[in-house]
Structure 1
């Protein structure tokens, strides 16, 4: 049988089967994709339904809370004159409801029910002047009054006139607080009901699209097979939609028909084309070449015939041996390149993994130990920024060369050890040291690597302020696998950076616990409910006369898992994980919302100081948010001061400097916090777009000593000469306050004045200060004088 006939008999069924399998596989893949897409689309629409529900729920809750906290409701509950209460105060409540309604609602009602069950006030958005509570609303009031626990917001599907979202609460008229369950018989009942129009529209749209109604109930049974999805509308309400089988069946029929027709046509065309091409370009030439190769293998000929047509088979015959040799050489070169870092010409990450795996296996077999040194160049980014990437590349090459020299010298001094050096990425390197436990020389090698950059890295008669941080982990002491060894060495390296850089730190159980706690804190921050876990406290700052001029907002976090976590611990983790914009937004919103209480305590000119994360200053979103929130709460921007740490202010780029200037142009004040702990130059201090300089408590501790009085006075005078107000932090003794007063400091803040307090604690503090000042004035002798700062 000829080669052509064999090709026809063999290739034809193979190609046919392959095409059918490919078509079948493609169909199954598309079928799975279609089902997944339909499932995802259904889930997305249910989440849109949930979003609409939550919008109404949030609106309902916020409006009811706002009414409860309003003066109009307080006057209404305490007013005995029924006509005045219903007409004048009721109108104010209506106006409050309308002003709080940010969305177009088809129906909204608000009712106040007296303790005896009589409706004291009812308002709804209908045009009927004789509107009253319907039976459903009355039933909900009765059930709420009899309930022993606080009820969730209720969604009523079959209410008169259409579904309603109802929120019911209680309030004592005397104290305007929520009653205990035993006091509900004495309390007024407040009920706010809205018709969630958009939610109802989405629900009806889903019903029309899928031909099945959306189930809404507190509890749903097991998920039925097929296209079905459910979503949690709230903690006590779920929604589910299960599409009928015909919905998916129709789409699958269309898909299968398309694949059947298309697959058949493609299969036939492919087979015909392949057979034609194979016969013309492969079968006949290969048959001739096969004959020559057979003769060559049987030693019937010394070489292949020269090709007569000069085609592909002819050139293949002529160059077969040369191509084989070149391919072998190329493979060797590719392997060498793939395992070598192109910049430093040492091992790269891929080769490092191979070397590490081999050394790890050898350690397991021979009982040796394997040390991993994870090396990171400190301040390398500054070299690239200040001297260019060419200088940075040259530094990396020379560092790799010197490090390799240190390893070579170590092997000569410690025979029997094996080492490997690799560049993992950027300015990160790794060293493997395999040795016996008795002759590891690990400390000696670590000191040699640290010495390469001790006091900076000198290159081409220039000294670069670059050092190395090294993290060390050993197998099997610190890790069970190489992956774990690499992770723990990386953890130790970050600890070396945290301890001031230019150091080596060995992995320990304490580091593992610290790393685990950081991960737990980050997980808790990602799931953070600010309203439940965060709270604000305020630390007042007083002027030279003892009057409160500003209050700094400080954040406190009590995690349900970790308990109370200090800001110094969780704020850096939140910034590194990119989670602080959410926290900043919460702090800004709550701080501005509570500003009127500060005004009531300290007067309209009191300044609210808010710390913001440095990561927020990369664009103008922070400024826009501040402007929007200040306008929302009707607070003049000049009463808000944004505090930046001095360390970050010293690194302001042109973009972030522009953001700070934009904040000031919008009317907000800017303060440089923690001044004296960074690397500020005189030129930078002159260029700071700041209104206030806050001296850090560390520099206050040093400069308030008697021998440093002149230096303190000079620093304060210099800042004031630039038009900046000086605020001293950490004032905890009268001696420090006296020194700062003598130096001419403008503001004072610290535990001598007041520790951070909640708003309620501030009220008590103000009351105590007022009584103390009153007693001081009564006891003061004629002609006497109260020393400056004594009132603080």
Structure 2
């Protein structure tokens, strides 16, 4: 600092210099001509500067090239615009050729006309803090396992930077590696895949790990389509080779979706939507088993919109009374009188119109809203049974489809008891239909749960036998009351004599075990005659009646009873 008068003695100035040298900060003084004096030899000895007679130009030469322009602009701004107090940070090269971070704090002095007179301040080495900040930043925005950018960085880049296209990649059935070989081997697979992505894309785009087995790549529009598709093929080949080297003995498919940035929206909104669209395209291809990059389009948008609506709209649909039950008669062979009815759920949405069970049931099982749907089905069926008893003294059991999630839910048994009590019904009024896949996947537990319900008088039917899981073990080992033959088998039997022979043997086996057989999908008189020859017990299908609402079913039963 410049001393403007002789108010300090030489001894006092010596003491001040000793205080400066003892400080951990560097002190400096700059004059209007750019001359600089540096105090505190202990601090500045690490830098190539003349402590007594240096210049701003010499100091600026030591500053990192990336920081030099902003440093010059800051000095000019302060001296020309009368800024008295300032703080700035930049990197300076030391005598070992290393760049260290410096924090500069200063005070500028101006005369009454605003003319710059001098500037004094301090320098502090803040490298430790900067390194800590850099480490925190790295931890915040990088995946620790693979070293790739993480999801937080992807969102950050999408908000503040505009990109032309995104690839969204998923390692299909990756969790099998976890379950079969353990987490460490699974981590090796992830690192291997990340390294492959780096090799092919890190120089032309940004690569991210956004979830356990999901990755994203941001790319410019300039990349050639043929080159991109070629690289994706190479990635798949390299990954399979890596899996072989790791000794997994498995092949893992790579599902890829792609979306483009929309110029019609803001950069932030368009980029964030691009991420969603790329993932939707990936999921669309994954569900259909496509082994190539799927580009997002209007068909996928409509499909995704519908799926998202179903995922989020089931509970609202129940509240808005959009769901209702239909009932299809099941008739006895010979008398063709109605022996029971199957309750079938329907959803007539205000948004999408009729949505069939084969579309919304799998989604409901995924989101576990199947629990509420199952409660609605049971309550509706019991209400219908109660009404038929009260108005016509007709007692027709109603069968209800039960999903695995319902069957093994701890609260379902209690709900059944409560509902039967609510309508003053016995278990004999209800039949539960479960799919063969449930029986085969959880045989021991299935038997235990079935016994609980059979103790209430509820009969159990094995639904869709022969639809793809066919196994006689499910018939022999699980205490069913009915076996429902899938309509696909019935249709084939009409044209194939060998299937008819199989069906005859199946009927014999079921009857020998005390099981009743229901043949589904009866649509013509010919089909009716064919299954009648096999001595099936019950028939169900459009030949007799289509599923109908409760009021129509009650009317149908009234006609059937009088016929």
TM-score tier by shorter-chain length is 0.5 to 0.7
Q: Does 1:668 align with 2:458?
A: yes
Q: Deviations over 1:737-761 (max 9, x none)?
A: 3443444543321112221123443
CA separation in 2, counterparts of 1:387 and 1:654? Answer: 27
Paired residue for 2:416, among 619, 622, 626? 626
- Partner residue in 1 for 2:527: 736
Picking from 419, 426, 436, the partner of 2:222 is 436
Following the alignment from structure 1 to structure 2, what is the Cα–Cα distance between the partners of residues 606 and 613? 23
Say whether 1:292 aligns with 2:82.
Answer: no
Q: Is 1:378 equivalent to 2:378 in the alignment?
A: no
Q: 1:384 to 1:739 in 2, by over 3 A?
A: farther
Give runs of aligned pairs for residues 713-752 of structure 1, distance below 5 A: 713-717=504-508, 724-752=515-543
| Residues 450, 503 of structure 1: 8 Å contact kept | no
Q: Which of 569, 581, 596 is the matching residue for 2:371?
A: 581
- 1: CA distance, partners of 2:398 / 2:509: 25
Is 1:485 aligned to 2:215, yes or no?
A: no
Alpha-carbon distance, 1:602 to partner: 10
CA contact (8 A) 1:614 1:648 kept: yes
Instruction: Answer whether contact 1:478 1:507 (CA < 8 A) is retained.
Output: no
- Structure 1 counterpart of 2:42: 303
Aligned to 1:267: none
Relative distance call for 1:665 and 1:457 in structure 2 (3 A) is farther
For 1:387 and 1:498, locate their aligned partners in 2 and report how far apart those are by CA, in whole Å.
25
Structure 2 runs not aligned, ≥5 long: 1-16, 28-36, 44-100, 103-123
Structure 1 CA distance, aligned partners of 2:417 and 2:561? Answer: 35
CA deviations on 1:569-612 (whole Å, 9 max, x unpaired) are 44444444443433322221121021145568998774311123
**CA offsets, 1:260-306, max 9 Å, x none?**
xxxxxxxxxxxxxxxxxxxxxxxxxxx996673399646666438xx
Distance 1:739 1:519, change over 3 A: same
Give, in whole Å, the separation in 2 of the partners of 1:655 and 1:665. Answer: 16
Corresponding residue to 2:190 among 382, 386, 396: 396
Instruction: Quote how far apart the aligned CAs of 1:640 are.
Output: 1.3
2:261 — aligned with what? 475
> What's the offset of the Cα at 1:626?
0.6
Aligned counterpart in structure 2 of residue 422 of structure 1, from 205, 208, 221: 208
Are the aligned partners of 2:330 and 2:341 in contact in 1 as well (CA < 8 Å)? yes
In 1, Cα distance between the equivalents of 2:321 and 2:171? 42
1:540 aligns with 2:325: no
Distance 1:478 1:653 in 2: 56
Q: Who is 2:144 aligned against? A: 342
Task: Name the structure 1 match of 2:495.
Answer: 705
The within-5 A match list for 1:362-377 is 363=163, 369-370=164-165, 372-377=166-171
Structure 2 counterpart SS, 1:594: helix
Kindly state the Cα deviation for residue 762 of structure 1 after the two structures are TM-superposed: 3.2
- Larger displacement relative to structure 2 (456-465 or 660-669): 456-465
Residues 469, 501 of structure 1: 8 Å contact kept: yes
Deviation at residue 649 of structure 1 after TM alignment: 4.7
The one-character-per-residue Cα deviations of 1:357-378 (angstroms, maximum 9, x if unpaired) are 67x53x5xxxxx42x2222233
| CA distance in 2: counterparts of 1:453 and 1:718, whole angstroms | 50
Q: Which residue of 1 aligns with 2:428?
A: 638
Q: In 2 relative to 1, CA 438–399 (structure 1 residues): closer, same or farther, beyond 3 Å?
A: closer
Matched, 1:464 2:250: yes
The aligned counterpart of 1:314 is none
Distance 1:721 1:455 in 2: 54
What is the 5 A alignment of 1:145-184? Answer: none
CA contact (8 A) 1:691 1:724 kept: yes
Q: Is the 8 A contact 1:617 1:659 kept in 2?
A: yes
State whether residues 385 and 396 of structure 2, in contact with CA within 8 Å, keep that contact through their aligned partners in structure 1: no
Matched with 1:64 is none
Number of matched pairs = 456
Query: 1:476 is paired with a residue of what secondary structure?
Result: coil
Contact 1:637 1:666 in 2 (8 A): yes
Mark the CA change 1:701 to 1:373 in structure 2 (over 3 Å): closer, same or farther: farther
Asked if the contact 1:376–1:428 (Cα under 8 Å) also holds between the matched residues in 2, the reply is: yes
Q: Which stretch shifts more, 600-609 or 556-565?
A: 600-609
Verify the 8 A CA contact 1:671 1:692 in the aligned structure 2.
yes
Call closer, same or farther: CA 1:536–1:467 in 2, change over 3 Å: same
> In terms of mean alpha carbon deviation, does 476-485 or 488-497 score higher?
476-485
Residues 706 and 563 of structure 1: is their aligned pair in 2 closer, same or farther, counting only changes over 3 Å? closer
Q: Give the Cα separation in 1 of the matches to 2:360 and 2:502.
A: 35
TM-score, structure 1 normalization: 0.49
Structure-1 separation of matches of 2:25 and 2:429:
99
Q: 1:430 to 1:644 in 2, by over 3 A?
A: farther
CA distance in 1, matches of 2:225, 2:301: 27
Q: Is 1:590 aligned with 2:320?
A: no
Give the 3-state SS of the residue equivalent to 2:259 in structure 1: strand
Distance 1:479 1:664 in 2: 60
Deviation at 1:558, TM superposition (A): 3.2
Give 1:634 shift. 2.5
Structure 1's 494 and 726: CA in aligned 2 closer, same or farther, altered over 3 A?
A: farther
Matches within 5 A, 1:76-475: 292-293=22-23, 297=27, 302-303=41-42, 325-353=127-155, 360-361=161-162, 363=163, 369-370=164-165, 372-404=166-198, 407=200, 418-436=204-222, 439=225, 441-448=227-234, 460-464=246-250, 466-475=252-261
- Mark the CA change 1:324 to 1:577 in structure 2 (over 3 Å): closer, same or farther: same
Are the structure 2 counterparts of residues 294 and 332 from structure 1 closer, same or farther at C-alpha, using a change threshold of 3 Å? closer
Q: CA deviation at 1:632?
A: 2.5
Give the structure with the larger strand fraction. Answer: 2
Q: What displacement does 1:624 show?
A: 0.6
CA RMSD of aligned residues (A): 4.3
Q: With structure 2 as the length reference, what TM-score do the two structures score?
A: 0.67
- Structure 1, unpaired ranges of 5+: 1-286, 305-319, 364-368, 412-416, 774-792
CA contact (8 A) 2:207 2:218 kept: yes
Q: 1:654 to 1:459 in 2, by over 3 A?
A: farther
What SS does the corresponding residue of 1:537 show, helix, strand or coil? strand
* Cα contact 1:597–1:759 (8 A) shared by 2: no
State whether residues 676 and 695 of structure 1, in contact with CA within 8 Å, keep that contact through their aligned partners in structure 2: yes
Contact 1:553 1:610 in 2 (8 A): yes
Deviations 1:322-358 (A, max 9, x none): 9955555444444444443233343322343455567
Q: Supply the distance in 1 between the matched residues of 2:241 and 2:39 (Cα, whole angstroms).
A: 76
